[in-house]
Amino acid sequence: MSVFGLVHDRYVHPRRTNVLSAHLAELLPREATVLDIGAGDGLITKKLQDRRPDLTLTALEVLLRPAPHVHVELFDGTHLPQEDDSFDAAMLVDVLHHAPEPLELLAEARRVARDTIVIKDEIATGLLADRTLHLMERLANTRHGISIPATFWARDDWDAAFARLNLHVEEWRGRLGLYPVPANLFFERRFHFVARLRV
């Protein structure tokens, strides 16, 4: 494992999963069935379940990681195997910018979620945003075999996608506090958001 991989696994990943599970716990509805689309190693799913035992979580992923923290079901990355309106909510945490067809996958999330979609993703804003985001993705994900098509949307692109799918932004959070000092100066900036959308 590279030095960066070791630092990421010991310092960045634990903080990131703690911070994100806290945001998700605040944004998801009570007593909800939730489809976690693109759950990765399942650590965020597990931490969310620990914070919110009232939730019933189902995890999907394209690539099955060794020893995931929760049971993970495989899917093709575009089409969800679930029926229409089969969950109260869906969540996509750093998934859409990896998807070959992000709008199609978001439409699938809308199809299966009756009430709420929660998204954590990245937003291309500021100087050298695309290059910085692509570097971040390569450092964090290449060793896991995750594709990086570099589909980084600006805020206008996100708003247009939501409008096209008739999704209404109920809450938008930026500056999430994902990275420790001094990494936050380079990797945090205004790149990250969590949004709760009403279907």
72-74 vs 56-61, strand pairing mode: parallel
Mean per-residue pLDDT for 113-133? 79
Q: Which residues contact 43 (CB under 8 A, 6 or more apart)?
A: 13, 17, 69
Q: Please give the residue that has the higher pLDDT: either 181 or 115.
A: 115
Distance separating alpha carbons of residues 131 and 164, to the nearest angstrom: 27
Instruction: Fill in the amino acid letter for 77.
Output: G
**Percentage of the chain modeled with pLDDT above 90:** 63
For tokens 């570099």, the residue is 150
Count Cα neighbours of 134 within 13 Å in the Cβ-side half-sphere. 7
Q: Give domain status of residue 53, yes or no.
A: yes
Q: Give domain status of residue 195, yes or no.
A: no
Q: Give the chain's mean pLDDT.
A: 86
Collapsing DSSP to helix, strand or coil, 49 comes out as helix
Strand partners for 195: 119, 172
The CA radius of gyration of the chain, in Å to the nearest whole number, is: 16
61: closest CA among 79, 80, 39, 42?
A: 39
Q: Please give the residue that has the higher pLDDT: either 44 or 142.
A: 44
User: Is the pLDDT score of 128 beyond 60?
Assistant: no
Domain count of the fold of the chain:
1
CATH code (residue 11):
3.40.50.150
User: Is the pLDDT score of 7 beyond 50?
Assistant: no
Q: Give domain status of residue 65, yes or no.
A: yes
| Model confidence band, residue 87 (pLDDT cutoffs 50, 70, 90) | very high
Which residue range is the domain that position 75 belongs to?
Answer: 3-100+108-188
Instruction: Fill in the amino acid letter for 48.
Output: L
Q: Give domain status of residue 194, yes or no.
A: no
Strand partners for 171: 196
Q: Please give the residue that has the higher pLDDT: either 154 or 117.
A: 117
* pLDDT tens digits along 52-85: 999 999 999 999 889 999 999 999 999 999 999 9
Mean per-residue pLDDT for 6-11? 51
Q: Give domain status of residue 148, yes or no.
A: yes
Distance separating alpha carbons of residues 69 and 179, to the nearest angstrom: 22
Of the ranges 16-20, 62-66, 177-181, which one carries the lowest mean pLDDT score?
177-181
User: Is the pLDDT score of 21 beyond 90?
Assistant: yes
Q: How many of the other CB atoms lie within 10 Å of CB of 8?
A: 18
Q: Give domain status of residue 199, yes or no.
A: no
